[in-house]
Structure 1
Amino acid sequence: MLAAFIAATIIILPITFLKYFDSFAAFSFNYGALLALIPIHLYSGKRDRSSTPLKKEINRWFFYVYYPLHMMIIFIAQIQ
């Protein structure tokens, strides 16, 4: 998996840079997609068993509130 990441970085990045040389946003989006391979590679396939039930409940509700809230903030910031 690491070899595939390195090969993709060496091969794909120059090609996408040449294709989208006028758009840094498109280039950085493609590079970000390649960077996503790092945490995927590091994932062991096992769930976290060290959390307490209270911590899991707090995390769950935090993300239920956080995700829509930060999306609304980004949307409002783009309007202005």
Structure 2
Amino acid sequence: MSRSINLVYFAWVRERLGLDQEMISLRDEVETIGDVVATLKARGAAYAEVLSDSEKLRFALDQDYATVESTIGSAKELAIFPPVTGG
């Protein structure tokens, strides 16, 4: 069964990809955020560069913070953004 998830990009992730958001279909074997990141990296050089170091990124599934090990489950949205700093 094919699933879809809306990807939302923030800050320099959005700027480097040139996208605010996009809807993608997930293969059945995609179970974690890490699997989504790997799928995106395979889409081309821009994705591979932006997502090359997941330690420099933060994630949220349906607006709840998550890690690369987090299971996608029935989530409808995955946000990808750099760490937020105060000032």
Pairwise TM-score range, normalised by the shorter structure: under 0.3
Please state which structure has a larger fraction of its residues in helix.
1
Larger radius of gyration: 1
Query: TM-score normalized by structure 1?
Result: 0.23
Query: TM-score normalized by structure 2?
Result: 0.22
Please state which structure has a larger fraction of its residues in strand.
2
Indicate the structure whose relative CO is greater, using CA pairs within 8 Å and at least 6 residues apart: 2
